[in-house]
Amino acid sequence: MSLFIVTETPGSVCLDIRKGKKMQLVLGWIDIHYPCSGHIHVQIRGMLPERLMSPQNLQVLVSEIFRWLEIPINETWELSVCSALKQVGMSQPVNAEGKTDRIETTKQFLLSGRDAHI
């Protein structure tokens, strides 16, 4: 299995995931957008074979993409990938300074007469 560049611009690259003797069988694709405006600087999306959808495999994939594109490993990123059967999302929303744009709370709110933890 190998990655092949399909298109490339100054802010993005689209890759095919291929296999076979002549690498003619396309198994999936990945789009990487960097740098992005806002807090999240790297956006990755794609369609992957089911066997690559584990969190461990996706973390390796993100690390390899960052190494290949020379993106700092502590950059903020979001990943959204799917296969024929499922969808997975992962992110690194904390930047090198320890800041995030995410809201986290442990407060309890009353919604429609029921207690809900948000």
Q: In the predicted model, is pLDDT for residue 70 greater than 50?
A: yes
Question: Per the domain annotation, does 116 fall within a domain?
Answer: no
Return mean pLDDT, the chain.
84
Output the pLDDT for position 108.
Answer: 47
pLDDT tens, residue by residue, 21-55: 888 888 899 999 999 998 999 999 999 988 888 88
Output the pLDDT for position 23.
Answer: 80
Residue with tokens 């390899």, as numbered in its chain? 64
CATH of residue 64: 3.40.630
Q: Which domain holds residue 85?
A: 2-95
Question: Per the domain annotation, does 37 fall within a domain?
Answer: yes
Question: Per the domain annotation, does 101 fall within a domain?
Answer: no
Dist. CA 91–CA 95, nearest whole Å: 11
pTM, 2 dp = 0.75
> What total of structural domains would you count in the chain?
1
Output the pLDDT for position 100.
Answer: 85
Q: How many CB atoms within 10 Å of residue 118? A: 10
